[in-house]
Amino acid sequence: MLGSQERFLEMYELGMWQANCYILGDRTLQRAVVVDPGQDAFQMVLERLAANDVTCEAILLTHGHLDHVWSTPQLAEKLDVPVFLHPADRWLWDDPAKAFGNFPPGVLETQFGLTWHPTGDRLQDLRDGMRLTCAGMKVEVRHTPGHTPGSSVFLMRDGDPPVLLSGDLVFAGSVGRTDFPRGSFEEQNDSLRRVVLPLDDETRVYSGHGPETTVGVERRTNPFLRALI
């Protein structure tokens, strides 16, 4: 996995929205990176980092929706790491309730029991084409707006097979919803055409929800991708 025996990828489906949180790491380097720590991820991530004997270097966010960011401020403080998010989703980081439309102020506390304290000073901007090295792995960032304006995916081409962490852009058999505030069906289709369709068949896709799949399987069977070919 990921090009080396010592590299690992763990996937956990968590919280009321059943969002996938990922921990990718290298046991030789004893380093890891956490992607999308949403609801109920705090304790689980700490336990898995300890079990793998790795230190977290950074938190990467595919987008600003609450099901993917819920535990991030608390976890970033605890681990003392930077948080990478595309600046076009900064409005969601500042107030995740904006994803629900015109909800009254305080809805996160009253509806979900969440006290949101975003720590802006830990935020670092993701940019299209940016290359990060996380836990010894080369990570290519692609900006893929549509589901949200700042939606981004993470591509690791140096492993065998290559890996795409796709957030809510594409799922096994489906694609992201675009009916949330500031979503765009056209932009999402453009992102799918530009970023997902050119990838090799064997590229493994780890989405924000649901099981893993491959680009080849989705190209052949996903009706939303087939419509773009």
Number of residues in contact with Zn ion under rule CB under 5 A: 5
Instruction: Report in angstroms how near the CB of residue 15 gets to Zn ion at its nearest.
Output: 10
Verify binding: residue 208, Zn ion, rule CB under 5 A. yes
Site string for Zn ion, 109-148 (x = CB under 5 A): ----------------------------------------
Give min distance, CB of 39 to Zn ion, in A.
11
- Ranges of H-type helices in the chain: 41-51, 66-69, 72-79, 90-94, 107-112, 185-191, 215-221, 223-226
Q: Smallest distance, Å, CB 92 to Zn ion?
A: 9
Which of 31, 65, 86, 142 touches Zn ion (CB under 5 A)? 65
Q: Judged by CB under 5 A, which of 36, 67, 89, 218 binds Zn ion?
A: 67
By CB under 5 A, name the one of 57, 89, 168, 218 that touches Zn ion: 168
Answer for the pair 199, 148: CB distance below 8 angstroms, yes or no: no
| E strand intervals along the chain | 7-14, 19-26, 31-35, 55-60, 83-85, 123-125, 131-134, 137-143, 152-156, 163-167, 170-171, 174-175, 204-207, 213-214
C-alpha–C-alpha distance, residues 168 and 45, integer Å? 21
- CB nearest Zn ion: which residue? 65
Minimum Å gap between C-beta 170 and Zn ion is 12
Find, among 69, 10, 71, the residue nearest to 41 by Cα: 71
Q: Interface residues with Zn ion (CB under 5 A)?
A: 19, 65, 67, 168, 208
